[in-house]
Amino acid sequence: STAPLALGAAIGGSVAHPAETVKSGFTLAATTTLLVDTGNASHTNSWTWSLTGPRGSEASLRAFNASSNSLLSLPAGTYEFSVAFGDLSTGTYNFRLVDAATTPVLAPDVATQLTLDPASHAQAYQLVVPEAGDSVFNPASYTNYGSGWRVADRRGNTLRSGHRGAPPEPSSLRGGRVS
Q: Please confirm whether the linkage preceding 104 is cis (ω < 30° from 0).
A: no
Whether 138 contacts 106, CB under 8 Å = no
DSSP per-residue letters across 29-94: SS-EEEEEEEEEETTTTTEEEEEEETTEEEEEEEEGGG-TTEEEEE-SEEEEEEEEETTS--EEEE
Return d(Cα 36, Cα 72) in angstroms, integer. 8
Whether 31 contacts 9, CB under 8 Å = no
Q: What is the pLDDT of residue 62?
A: 85
Return d(Cα 81, Cα 5) in angstroms, integer. 9
For 103-132, what is the mean pLDDT? 73
As a whole number, the mean pLDDT across the chain is 77
Q: Which of 63, 78, 59 is nearest to 4 (CA)?
A: 78
Of 17-21, 30-34, 160-164, which has the strongest mean pLDDT? 30-34
Banded model confidence at residue 68, pLDDT cuts 50, 70, 90? very low
Q: Measured on CA atoms in the order 111, 115, 120, 125, is the torsion positive or negative?
A: negative
